[in-house]
Amino acid sequence: MSSMQLSFKADQSEGNREAWNRSEMESTNQTRDEAATTTAHATKQETSGFLQQTGEQMMHMAQGAVDTVKNTLGFNDDKSN
């Protein structure tokens, strides 16, 4: 094989290696982006669930406070007493 052929093959190998490296980098970036999106979505759902639960607890506490004030003032809606 001539030195020109060896040089051409070396250039081809280098080009193939660079193309492979770019492909791997793109694949890695895509996987990282997908993982970040999945994590963000899960975090958003957890936060929404937490806020929903907290809001419901606050509503129950407020209703309990209203019922306590009504009982104290004699305005209880319970007609069975």
Q: How far is CA 46 from CA 1, 38, 51, 76, in A?
A: 65, 12, 9, 38
Predicted local confidence at residue 67, as pLDDT: 92
Q: Which pLDDT does position 7 carry in this prediction?
A: 65
User: In this predicted structure, what is the pLDDT of residue 66?
Assistant: 93
Domain boundaries, the chain: 47-72
Half-sphere exposure of 17 (CA within 13 A, CB side): 6
Q: What percent of the chain has pLDDT over 70?
A: 80
Whether residue 27 has pLDDT greater than 50: yes
Direct distance between the N- and C-terminal alpha carbons of the chain, in angstroms, rounded to an integer: 108
